[in-house]
Amino acid sequence: MGYLFKSLTGRSYKNRPAGTVDIPFLGAKVGEFDNWTLRRRGDEGPNASLYDLHAVFSFLSKPLWEDDEYDKRIVVSLSPQQQYRLQQEPGQRTALTGKSLLIEGVKLCPPES
């Protein structure tokens, strides 16, 4: 099965972040993305529908990000009307270097209500 997009990109626009990270349980904002890119892993096989996220935070609460006790929700915006929640597959890598973020093996999901 072929997929239409090999990569997607978002950027902040008119004081709207390109994406957000929050902790729904606490109602706490963890961070906002200035920009992000999703790159698809391949055209065939079990990982064909997975993407790797490369993002740069414009705002980040490092203590909240590093707190593993709470589940975080990551949402990227293509436009104010088109947003996707990212869900990472188990066993994939996440790396934060300064304000640059890499999350491997994510799939795009509808935003939660």
Give the pLDDT of residue 49. 80
Give the pLDDT of residue 43. 66
Domain presence at residue 2: no
Return the SS3 of 96.
strand
What total of structural domains would you count in the chain?
1
Q: What is the mean pLDDT of each run of 10 residues along the chain (113 residues)?
A: 71 90 96 95 74 96 95 91 93 96 94 69
Domain presence at residue 1: no
Structural domain of residue 47, as residue ranges?
7-109
Residues 6+ apart with CB under 8 A from 44: 1
CA–CA distance, 56 with 34 (Å, rounded to integer) = 6
